[in-house]
Amino acid sequence: MDYCLRGLWSLEGLRSLDLSDNLLEGEISKGNNGLSNLRGISLRNNQFTGDVPDGIGDCLLLRSVDLSENFLSGGLPRLMQKLTLCNDLVLHKNRFTEELLEWIGDMRSLVTLDLSENNFRCQIPNAVGKLKSLNFLNVSKNGLTGSMPESMSNCLNLLVLDISHNSLIGNLPFWV
């Protein structure tokens, strides 16, 4: 299997990696443990496939992750919960299918969370209510089910909420 970006992971001083809007393809390399100083990564609008590598969770200084508009699939690696400094997580227009896990609430610095236009078939996790800095939440165009969790009323800084084009049910919560 081809792994794209393999040689970049040895650039230990790299702070920002922006390879967006190209025609890069293949799986994202698994060996990114040399990027301990990375603050931002954008691989937006390419043709990457496969899973998000677990090693992204070892980039503890990441503040911005944009892997949108690719063909990434599977679930989000649990090790992403270690990205406690991350402000922006943008993963829209991929093919993620597994459930949104409760650990998303551990990423408490998130200001922007965009998981729209994927294939998530689950409920919005209660842990979203732990994201008290969240300004922007877009989970539109998935297959989300159930009702909106009441814990989201804790997201007092939320300015934009897009939950359109899902299969959510129930009454609007009091906080909407």
How high does pLDDT run on average in the chain?
90
Contacts of 138 (CB under 8 A, 6+ apart): 92, 113, 114, 115, 116, 160, 161, 162
Question: Can you give the pTM of this predicted structure?
Answer: 0.92
pLDDT digits (tens, 9 = 90+) for 117-161: 999 989 999 999 999 999 999 999 999 999 999 999 999 999 999
- Rounded to 5 degrees, φ, ψ at 44 are -60, 145
Q: Which residues are 88's β-sheet partners?
A: 64, 112
User: Is the pLDDT score of 3 beyond 60?
Assistant: no
Amino acid letter for position 71: F
Task: Assess contact for 52 and 79: CB atoms under 8 A.
Answer: no
For the chain, the domains span: 3-168
Q: How far apart are CA 9 and CA 14, in angstroms?
A: 9
What is the assigned CATH class of domain 3-168?
A: alpha beta
pLDDT band at 46 (very low <50, low <70, confident <90, very high): very high
pLDDT digits (tens, 9 = 90+) for 62-99: 999 999 999 999 988 888 999 999 999 999 999 998 88
pLDDT in the model for residue 1: 36
